[in-house]
Structure 1
Amino acid sequence: METQQLHRGRLIDHIQLVVRDIAASEAFYTAVFKALQIPISGRGDDYFWADELFVSTATSPAACGKLTGRHHLAFQARDEAMVQAFYQAALANGGTDNGAPGYREYHPGYYGAFVLDPDGNNIEAVYHGKAERSAPSVVVTF
């Protein structure tokens, strides 16, 4: 595994998802990251990673033989079109709808989309927009 640049001062250093089907997960994440313009950084027989997200099988030495539970991960998008592209790529590559692209009432300008990845993790793409934009009321449950 190659070494990446170290980014000190971040809250999250890295996140690992341990999945049942590495091929299905790699197809899903490769597609959604392409829509978000994030490259896959590396891969091996039982793992791959992009930025600070590491995805592996349960048999990978880093996994200790156990699947991870359900997580919610939110990826930043540059604009609403990128959120929509993320959503379409996810659905076309093994994801399940968990909230179509749209404004949420979390704060003004919050535009997001939610999908479940092949292991049931709640994966979101969000564009925070402009603070002065008022958001229509949309209730999203997790």
Structure 2
Amino acid sequence: METQELFRGRLIDHIQLVVQDLAASRRFYTAVFEELEIDIGGEGEDYFWADELFVSSRDSEAAQGHLTGRHHLAFQARDRDMVNAFYRAALAHGGTDNGGPGERPYHPGYYAAFVLDPDGNNIEAVFHGEAQRSAAAVKITF
């Protein structure tokens, strides 16, 4: 029996979205990531990526000809103003309203906005209130 060492410390290693119109998605995600202070990490003719989100066209080698379908992705925001800026940028760059900025009942201080990206993915920016600010300083070890 072989023993394998796994890296632990976060649940998601990366996510890939395969989209119908890469140019429309690039405009949308570039605009919202600018407001969330996330840099586009790289791009090629049939893909781009930021942090651990990879977005590619259907004809990219990684996509193997298939769209990924609809997903819900939630991006962390530093504060309410960043959530609001995300929402405005998303709508101005091809997004569709799916729930404007505001408090949600999930827990006290949960402030979020929801938009549909050009492929219908439910994209959220969320600020968890003061609990998020406190948690940012906490390092969890496994």
Q: TM-score, normalised by structure 2?
A: 0.86
Alpha-carbon distance between aligned partners in 2 of 1:68 and 1:59, rounded to the nearest angstrom: 13
* Paired letter, 1:40: I
SS at structure 2 position matched to 1:56 = strand
Match of 2:114 in 1: 114
Deviation at 1:64, TM superposition (A): 1.1
* Identical-pair percentage: 77
1:32 counterpart letter in structure 2: V
Are positions 1:20 and 2:20 aligned together?
yes
Match of 2:72 in 1: 72
Structure 1 residue 10, shift from structure 2 partner: 1.3
Name 1:55's counterpart in structure 2. 55
Q: Structure 2: which amino acid aligns with 1:71?
A: H
Question: Could you tell me how far 1:9 is from its partner in structure 2?
Answer: 2.2
Structure 1: gaps (5+ residues): 1-6, 132-142
TM, length-normalised to structure 1: 0.86
The corresponding residue for 1:30 is 30
Q: How do residues 76-91 of structure 1 correspond to structure 2 at under 5 angstroms?
A: 76-91=76-91
1:96-139 superposed Cα distances (whole Å, 9 cap, x missing partner): 000000000000000000000000000000000025xxxxxxxx
The code of the aligned residue for 2:97 comes to: D
Aligned match of 1:125: 125
1:26-51 deviation per Cα after TM superposition (whole angstroms, max 9, x unaligned) = 00000000000000000000000000
Q: List structure 1 segments (4+ residues) > 4 angstroms apart after TM superposition.
A: none
Structure number with larger C-alpha Rg: 2
Q: Does structure 2 retain, via aligned residues, the 8 Å contact 1:108–1:130?
A: no
Equivalence for 2:138: none
Gaps of 5+ in 2: 1-6, 132-142
The question of whether the paired residues in 2 share the 8 Å contact of 1:76 and 1:125 is answered with: yes
Residues 49-90 of structure 1 show CA distances to partners (whole Å, capped at 9, x for unaligned) of 000000000110000110011000000000000000000000
Name the Cα RMSD after superposition. Answer: 1.0
